[in-house]
Chains A and B, each alone.
Chain A
């Protein structure tokens, strides 16, 4: 199984490759990708440096161009596809039908992956993208169970990529407008969920309040860990009771069921976290490299050192195997 790791910048890319990533995925410095955060991503200049480094270490570079352009800014997405093709990246990861079509016609030789943002959750959807745009791989949304992924893998010849670790979107990706409902900017339109300029932290009566465009998402007591404020992981009142109505500030960690993930037939495992530091990327990649190597032998058991490494970076944030198990639903 191919280990696909996040690279928010060049040091993170090095960290991922040096610690055992088979591939790294990254985006350009604009809203053409779904991690459009200040200080992140690659310019035209350092994309070639990134590719040179990856080539020297036999790793692949995948470029996410996975947001949805509107007519006025269409050229930015076309330029991003051209830049990826001209730089010689191994594949682009695309969600928008128009962008896929552009890539197919302008750069037919450039390998196209379907982004999770396209939210293709069944074989008919995948076939739409395979038949019309020749995608070679699809990242499937974090809504499917192991059973459903197994079925999809058995029904298609293209590679299926699944998420193994990191932030967990609880809504189907590319189909969530909670962020734009709150702020006017969403992953689809702006390339970010809960853009940082709309987030406000404030101490109030022994509590730490977190607001998104003045909407109170959570209020943490001193002994609670504060999480990045996405609307799906806020604490709200429903029927007079306060709870995490959608999901707790939890992250995805599948290390204990890695053998089951491999058994689905999925060919690649994605680690979320382009917004994370190089140190984080190094640790996570090291842990998953160990786990994947361990899984090559029979009777897989998550290596102790990998498990504790992952625990050390999640800092008390709980983890889940999420939708892979039916009961999560």
Chain B
């Protein structure tokens, strides 16, 4: 079982991003996803060219680098940028919108499919494998058991499967920017306001329970999904990697402990959270995600 680091879901500052990857480069991670999947306006924070520099540095440290692409493509400039990224990037790409699948298969490139691609059964999986998919992170609402069912029914199991095992769950994407809305702005005139909130905005119910999390056009879980300790079930299901997504906790410790657990040195990962944070793991085990 490998450990992969999911792309940073939030709009961090350029310095926060580069500092983060400097630290991650030394950790026992096989695969690191970079790039942004939420909003094309975040290119103002860090350009594709800067991402490529980060990618090269990580690759030099022996990491497999995968470039994640946008979760929803609406405008023609976004589409042109996507086509350029797919054509020119010397790293594997992760498709999160079917447009990327179309471009990458036309270019005859192998690619990864992220949780934004709706693969819920073996037949869809087979077709996307024929198109060039070699790595797959299933939709986050699929349980370990459901992933095993799909894998068992698949024609070709020569596929790296990752479980979204740690982090805020990406639950929805919209054309509307809720971070801008929070600040009384609209998406067109947002001024990249989402860079003011490194972990988004918590959305609580009016009786004071945490529920969701606003991250620009993306809606996430308020709680940190943590299925790390279910790794043996994941391994039995044919899953090859635990995908860990940056959250408001000590990520270095999360990754090091996960590595120790997978190496048999400790039994479980025990993370102390900030009092405002909470864990959930329902999706991994056939329950409501919030549980």
Q: Which residues of A contact B (CB under 8 A)?
A: 68-72, 74, 95-99, 101-102, 118-125, 127-129, 131-132, 143-144, 148, 151, 170-172, 174-178, 180-184, 186, 188-189, 213, 215-217, 219, 231-232, 234-239, 242, 245-247, 323, 326-329
Contact = CB atoms under 8 A, between A and B. Distances in A.
A120 B83 CA distance: 16
B169 A70 contact: no
Nearest to B225: A181
Interface string B172-197: 11111110111000111000000000
Nearest to A155: B76
Contacts of A151: 76
B4 to A, nearest CB: 21
Contact of B101 (A101, A128, A182): A128
A124 B282 contact: no
Nearest to A95: B118
Instruction: Point out which of B119, B140, B141, B175 has the most chain A C-beta atoms below 10 A from its C-beta.
Output: B175
Given A181-B290, A216-B209, A171 B174 contact: yes
A181 B289 contact: yes
Which 7 pairs across A and B sit closest by C-beta, in order of nearness?
A: A98-B123, A124-B99, A143-B175, A68-B120, A181-B289, A329-B187, A171-B172
Instruction: Point out which of A74, A148, A232, A246 has the most chain B C-beta atoms below 10 A from its C-beta.
Output: A246
B202 A181 contact: no
B72 A180 contact: no
Interface stretch (B20-28, B211-219, B250-258): B211-219
Nearest to B202: A238
A327 B188 contact: yes
A184 B288 CA distance: 4
A213 B289 CA distance: 12
21 contacts: A68-B118, A97-B118, A97-B119, A98-B121, A118-B118, A122-B97, A122-B99, A125-B102, A132-B127, A144-B175, A148-B74, A151-B76, A181-B141, A181-B288, A182-B290, A215-B205, A216-B205, A216-B207, A242-B206, A326-B186, A328-B175
A247 B174 CA distance: 11
Instruction: Point out which of A119, A175, A181, A238 has the most chain B C-beta atoms below 10 A from its C-beta.
Output: A181
B171 A178 contact: yes
B46 interface: no
Interface in B95-126: 97-103, 116, 118-126
Nearest to A242: B206
Nearest to B150: A71
B201 interface: yes
A95 B124 CA distance: 11
B79 A123 contact: yes
Given A171-B174, A246-B178, A246-B219, A238 B72 contact: no
Contacts of B181: 245
Contacts of B206: 216, 219, 235-237, 242
A178 B204 contact: no
B290 A215 contact: yes
B209 A215 contact: yes
B204 A177 contact: no
A123 B79 CA distance: 9
Instruction: Point out which of B102, B188, B286 has the most chain A C-beta atoms below 10 A from its C-beta.
Output: B102
A125 B101 CA distance: 8
A175 B218 CA distance: 11
Nearest to A69: B121
Contacts of B75: 122, 148
Contact of B176 (A122, A219, A328): A328
B207 to A, nearest CB: 5
Instruction: Point out which of B101, B120, B146, B177 has the most chain A C-beta atoms below 10 A from its C-beta.
Output: B120
A121 B74 contact: yes
B234 interface: no
B287 interface: yes
B203 interface: yes
B149 interface: yes
B148 to A, nearest CB: 10
B74 A122 contact: yes
A156 to B, nearest CB: 13
B128 interface: yes
A328 B128 CA distance: 35
Nearest to A96: B124
B153 interface: yes
Contacts of A148: 74-75
B139 interface: yes
Nearest to B201: A238
Contacts of A96: 118, 120-121, 124
A68 B139 CA distance: 11
A178 B188 contact: no
Instruction: Point out which of B123, B125, B149, B286 has the most chain A C-beta atoms below 10 A from its C-beta.
Output: B123
Interface in B73-89: 73-76, 78-79, 82-83
A102 B72 CA distance: 26
Given A69-B120, A119-B72, A238 B182 contact: yes
Nearest to B182: A238
Instruction: Point out which of A71, A144, A239 has the most chain B C-beta atoms below 10 A from its C-beta.
Output: A71
B127 A180 contact: no
Contact of A329 (B176, B207, B219): B176
B127 to A, nearest CB: 5
Given A125-B73, A143-B72, A98 B173 contact: no
B137 interface: no
Contact of B204 (A131, A237, A327): A237
Given A98-B121, A188-B120, A178 B219 contact: yes
